[in-house]
Amino acid sequence: MLRRPVAISPPCRGNVNRMNLSALGNLSHRLKLVGTLPPKLVAAKIAKRLPWSNKRAVRIAEIVHSPKDREADRLLGFFRTQESFLVENEGWAPIDFTGRNVLEIGPGPLGGLSLMAVFRGAERVYGVEPDWVDDVLTDPAIEDAYLRPHHNVLSAAFGNLMDYATFRTRLGERLKIDAVGLSDATPGFAADIVLSNSCLEHIGDLPDALSALVDFTADDARHMHLVNFGNHRDREAPFATIYEMPPDQYRLKYGAHINLLRASDVFAASASAGLGLSMAIVDQPVEKAEAVDLHPYWRDNYEMDDLAVRTALYFTPMSNETESPIP
């Protein structure tokens, strides 16, 4: 596979006409998305933008009415599928969280996999999530809609490791999530385990952020990062729109929601950061990439097998030893 690093253009700025075009392109795209969401979620999203709204309350309403965020076993399902994939295909050993320091990048509005890490005995867990709302997990609406059901899911998956009251207390004591991006993380520990699910593709300054990550990661840390290289809109046509235009034009039309790096770019960025990660391609539907009328930018800079990677895992390869014991 070609590993040709591609520079990411900075977001357009300073040109009023281009900014107006961007706003219009994004507006029509957003209006289409709104049609697919539950009405209460749309109401919360509108309320969030009103200058007089109580930002925290509307953000909580937004989370409570989001069927995706509320699904109690969604992220655990992803984690287990990814881990099994690496166990079967890459000789991985399942991660043992007991006594470990864990860092999650972009856990999402409800703390993502970090809750599982606490449940499974992690010593300290730190997340970086730009959209984080402080104290969200102790909000009564969120407790009912998510935290209790999630505790049930974790107990069914891993056994009755702790009752709900202990889980809630441990989250308060051991989990900290800061509303910042990865480049501004301050975990206060060297992470033994670093996780992310569908997040690295959203980080605009990924090469710099990965270089920063090395500074708060233990030398023998275990990483598992699932990256989704599709357009995040259409499962049937994951590369449509992306490969039809150069990156600058895509950002004008759809916004900077994804960084448009390809699988080889993320691998190269992790290698130059010194993270020592391997890449396992999970899903590579070549026919879906070939179905797109490729703009020369993509044809000239990438091989088809790179363009066809929809999802890949970036992970720490196992050495011959098993996991080192807690000192």
Ligand X SMILES: C[S@@+](CC[C@H](N)C(=O)[O-])C[C@H]1O[C@@H](n2cnc3c(N)ncnc32)[C@H](O)[C@@H]1O
DSSP three-state, residue 1: coil
For ligand X, the closer of residues 133 and 171 by Cβ is 133
Instruction: Name which of residues 57 to 86 contact ligand X (CB under 6 A).
Output: 75
26 Cβ contact list (under 8 Å, min separation 6) = 253, 254, 255
Q: Output 198 or 284, the one with its CB closest to ligand X.
A: 198
Single residue of 62, 79, 112, 279 touching ligand X by CB under 6 A: 112
Give the residue with the Cβ less far from ligand X, 60 or 105.
Answer: 105
Distances in whole angstroms, Cα of residue 321 to Cα of each of 86, 185, 325: 17, 30, 11
Beta-carbon contacts of residue 31 (< 8 Å; ≥ 6 apart): none
Ranges of beta strands (E only) in 84-123 are 101-105
From candidates 202, 251, 262, 288, binder to ligand X by CB under 6 A: 202
Nearer to ligand X, 206 or 263 (CB): 206
Give the interface segment with ligand X, choosing from 29-37, 194-202, 217-225, 303-311 (CB under 6 A). Answer: 194-202
Q: Which of residues 113-142 bind ligand X (CB under 6 A)?
A: 128-131
Beta strands across the sheet bearing 217-228: 175-178, 124-128, 101-105, 191-197, 217-228, 311-315, 278-283
Rule CB under 6 A: is residue 199 a binding residue for ligand X?
yes
* Of 162 and 193, CB closest to ligand X: 193
Evaluate whether 152 touches 144 at the Cβ level (below 8 Å): no
Q: Which residues bind ligand X (CB under 6 A)?
A: 75, 105-108, 112, 128-131, 181-182, 197-199, 202-203, 209
